Structure 1
Amino acid sequence: MNKLWQSYLDSYRGLSQPTWILALVMLINRSGAMVIPFLGVYMTSKLGFELKEAGIALSCFGVGAIMGSLCGGWLTDKIGHYLTQSISLFLSVPVFFMLPLFTSFESLCAAIIVLSFITEIFRPANSASVSYYAKPENLTRAFSLNRMALNLGFSIGPALGGFLAGYSYSLLFYVNGTMVGLAGIVFLFYFRGKKGNDALLTNQATVKTQQPANKSAYRDVKYIFFTLFLTIYATCFFQLFNSLPIFYKQVHLLNEINIGYILAFSGLIVFGLEMIVVHLAEANLTIRQNMVFGTALCGAAFVVLIAPLGVPILYVSMFLLCISEILVMPFSSTIGVNRSSSENRGSYMALNALAFSIAHVFSPLFSTTIAENYGFNTLWIVTGVLIALASLGFFVLMKKM
Structure 2
Amino acid sequence: MKKLFTNYLATFKGLSKEVWWLSLITLINRAGTMVIPFLSLYLKEGLNFTFSDVGLIMVFFGLGSVAGSRLGGYLTDKIGYYKVMQVSLFLTGVLFVLLQYVTTLFGFCASIFVLMTVADTFRPAMFVALSSYSKPENKTRSVTLIRLAINLGFSAGPAVGGLIISTLGYQGLFWVDGVTCVLATILLVNVLHPKKARILDEIKNENPASVYSDKLFWIFFVAMALFGVVFLQYFSTIPLYYRDVHHLSEIEIGLLLGANGFIIFLLEMPLVTWLEDFKQNKITLMIIGGVLVTLSFIVLNMTGWIGILIVGMFFMTIGEMIMFPFSNAYAMERAKRGSQGQYMSWYSISFSLAHVFGHFSGMHLIDKIGFDNTWYIMFGLSLLSGLFLLMLRYKTKQVEKI
* TM-score scaled by length of structure 2: 0.94
Give yes or no for contact 1:66–1:117 (8 Å, CA) kept in 2.
yes
Number of the residue aligned with 1:254? 248
Q: Which amino acid aligns with 2:10?
A: D
Give yes or no for contact 1:77–1:343 (8 Å, CA) kept in 2.
no
Give yes or no for contact 2:285–2:322 (8 Å, CA) kept in 1.
yes
> For the residues of structure 2 that align with 1:340 and 1:98, how far apart are their CA atoms?
36
Give yes or no for contact 1:295–1:391 (8 Å, CA) kept in 2.
yes
Number of the residue aligned with 2:181? 180
Matches within 5 A, 1:110-259: 110-167=110-167, 168-192=169-193, 193=195, 194-199=197-202, 202=203, 214-259=208-253
Give yes or no for contact 1:7–1:280 (8 Å, CA) kept in 2.
no
Matches within 5 A, 1:337-376: 337-341=332-336, 344-376=339-371
SS at match of 2:336: coil
Which residues of structure 2 form unaligned runs of 5+? 397-402
**Distance apart, 1:3 and its partner CA:** 7.5
> For the residues of structure 1 that align with 2:223 and 2:210, how far apart are their CA atoms?
19
- RMSD across aligned positions (CA): 1.7
**Distance apart, 1:400 and its partner CA:** 2.0
> For the residues of structure 2 that align with 1:315 and 1:56, how far apart are their CA atoms?
30
SS at match of 2:100: helix
Which residues of structure 1 form unaligned runs of 5+? 207-211
Spell out, residue by residue over 1:46-86, the C-alpha distance to the aligned partner (whole angstroms, 9 max, x if none). Answer: 11111111111122110100000000000110011111100
Give yes or no for contact 1:58–1:360 (8 Å, CA) kept in 2.
yes
**Distance apart, 1:165 and its partner CA:** 1.2
Number of the residue aligned with 1:41? 41
Number of the residue aligned with 1:328? 323
**Distance apart, 1:218 and its partner CA:** 2.4
> For the residues of structure 2 that align with 1:342 and 1:152, how far apart are their CA atoms?
33
> For the residues of structure 1 that align with 2:103 and 2:290, how far apart are their CA atoms?
37
SS at match of 2:241: helix
* TM-score scaled by length of structure 1: 0.94
Give yes or no for contact 2:66–2:353 (8 Å, CA) kept in 1.
yes
**Distance apart, 1:191 and its partner CA:** 1.1
**Distance apart, 1:311 and its partner CA:** 2.5
**Distance apart, 1:287 and its partner CA:** 0.7
Structure 2 residue 277 is the aligned partner of structure 1 residue 283: yes
> For the residues of structure 2 that align with 1:375 and 1:288, how far apart are their CA atoms?
33
> For the residues of structure 2 that align with 1:158 and 1:82, how far apart are their CA atoms?
29
Structure 2 residue 20 is the aligned partner of structure 1 residue 29: no
Spell out, residue by residue over 1:161-216, the C-alpha distance to the aligned partner (whole angstroms, 9 max, x if none). Answer: 111112311000000110111011101111112231124xx49xx9xxxxx96012
SS at match of 1:311: coil
Structure 2 residue 274 is the aligned partner of structure 1 residue 273: no
> For the residues of structure 2 that align with 1:196 and 1:332, how far apart are their CA atoms?
23
Give yes or no for contact 1:287–1:331 (8 Å, CA) kept in 2.
yes
**Distance apart, 1:308 and its partner CA:** 2.3
Between stretches 184-193 and 229-238, larger displacement belongs to: 184-193
Number of the residue aligned with 1:209? none
**Distance apart, 1:6 and its partner CA:** 5.6
> For the residues of structure 1 that align with 2:273 and 2:306, how far apart are their CA atoms?
32
Q: Which amino acid aligns with 1:275?
A: M
SS at match of 1:198: coil
Give yes or no for contact 1:213–1:340 (8 Å, CA) kept in 2.
no
> For the residues of structure 1 that align with 2:379 and 2:3, how far apart are their CA atoms?
36
> For the residues of structure 2 that align with 1:302 and 1:36, how far apart are their CA atoms?
21
Give yes or no for contact 1:198–1:342 (8 Å, CA) kept in 2.
no
